[in-house]
Amino acid sequence: MDPPYYILFSTQPANSSSLGHPTIQYHYADDSPLALLPQHTDEHVLLLEYDQTSPMPTVTSTSRTLAVTGIKVEEAPGAAVAEDRHNDRMYIIEATTVLAEDKTQLSGERPSAHAVIAQFKQRKVILV
């Protein structure tokens, strides 16, 4: 079965149940991993790694101010009646903002953006 066609995200704590639409950039094995680095300080980069042999993809944040808390698959309302037939389910990436006081606690535990991208690149080499 194909993976869900739609990807949305939610951030917690949220005052409502609204979902956001991320900007999606596909990255392939022969692409430079430097393209995955944030272009400015307020940009958050999330890496969603889809593996056909795994029931769920993995999601990692390269940002020190946004942490991924989970990913789930749900029905995409209205997708089944769309003109172009796609998998009518969607990924919802759940994330939370890391507060300034939490950053000091996480500083030794969370890898840097460069380390996350290096790990991502290494996994791609293994899969190819």
Tell me whether residue 115 is exposed, middle or buried, using C-beta atoms within 10 angstroms of its C-beta: 0 to 12, 13 to 18, 19 or more: exposed
What pLDDT was estimated at residue 97?
86
Split into its structural domains, the chain has a count of 1
| In a domain? residue 25 | yes
How much is the pTM? 0.69
| In a domain? residue 1 | no
Q: What is the CATH number of the domain that holds 61?
A: 2.60.270
Task: Identify the residue with better confidence: 36 or 122.
Answer: 36
| In a domain? residue 102 | yes
- Domain containing residue 10: 6-127
pLDDT score of 86 more than 60: yes
What pLDDT was estimated at residue 104?
47
